[in-house]
Structure 1
Amino acid sequence: MPKTVITPPGTGTPIAPFSPGTLADGIVYVSGTLAFDKDNNVAFPDNAEAQTRQVLETIKSVIETAGGTMDDVTMNHIFLTDWSHYGAINKVYAEYFPGDKPARFCIQCGLVKPGFVVEIATIAHVGKS
């Protein structure tokens, strides 16, 4: 099955060998997304609301570049460093998914750099490619 790499305009160079997203058979797979600034440093260190908003905006740009919308999201994988951020993450998350909610899971774990508090990976169905 052929796949298409999805890289929104203005996307910086990833810190590891991956693409922001891939589209295959109408499904967009968005890589685990963190709140990086333009220089690949942690944006908004330890600020759960600001990081969640930036992460979801980045995910939104990948999905829109692939021809979809946030309404096409079917699954989110959420990773957070501390359960104390859960409420703040959910507050912002609810703004991006106001109607029918996608399936999701949320686990606590370490992330790639200190200061990150949330990472989200996403699957969206945007139709046949």
Structure 2
Amino acid sequence: MKNTVETYTPPDTPTPIGPYNHIAKVGHLISIGGTAGFDPATGQLAGADVYTQCKQILKSFQVMLQSVNSDLDHVMHINVFLLHMSDFDEMNKAYVEMMAKHWPTRTVIGVHELPKPGVLLTMNLTAVTRMP
């Protein structure tokens, strides 16, 4: 059996800042690459704070996952890359609001810098599709 990697950048999601797609999918396994809190309608950061940027990232994840027959309840693991660990509580506040009661495994890493000015965090994830 041959596994084919399909890649996507769905409409209504932020435009990638480099030569990549947001989603890679093989069978039921989904990987979404590093995503920042940009509002896809404006191309601008959704806000200047971690709470607003985190909520926007998770909203973008919802759209991306929906495009490949999945949702936030099917996320297996999330990586969070925080520019300032002092923003951990505000990131968590938005995360709890958006993730409801589904708590996938998660890793939070402090980083020295991120590729775009004003970006305070990025996130990526691994998920599975909803079974038919």
**TM-score, normalised with respect to structure 2:** 0.87
User: Is the CA contact (8 Å cut-off) linking 1:76 and 1:123 kept in structure 2?
Assistant: yes
Counterpart secondary structure, 2:114: coil
CA distance in structure 2 between the partners assigned to 1:69 and 1:37 by the alignment: 19
Q: Is 1:116 paired with 2:119?
A: yes
Letter in 2 for 1:62: M
Number of the residue aligned with 1:34: 36
Letter in 1 for 2:9: T
The code of the aligned residue for 1:9 comes to P
Percent of aligned pairs sharing the same letter: 26
**1:85 aligned to 2:87?**
yes
Partner of 2:105: 103
TM-score scaled by length of structure 1: 0.89
Separation in 2 of the partners of 1:72 and 1:28?
10
Q: How far apart are 1:7 and its partner, in Å?
A: 2.3
> How far did 1:77 drift?
0.5
**Gap runs ≥5 in structure 2:** none
Shift of the 74–111 alpha-carbon distance from structure 1 to 2, 3 Å rule, reads same
Task: Give 1:126's aligned amino acid.
Answer: T
Letter of the aligned partner of 1:104 in structure 2? R
Amino acid at match of 2:80: I
> Structure 1: 5+ residue runs without aligned partners?
none
Which stretch of structure 1 is more off in the superposition, 69-78 or 109-118? 109-118
- Give the paired residue count: 128
Aligned partners of 2:46 and 2:102: how far apart in 1? Answer: 29
What is the match of residue 15 of structure 1? 17
Match of 2:55 in 1: 53
> Is 1:125–2:120 an aligned residue pair?
no
User: Cα offset for 1:95?
Assistant: 1.6
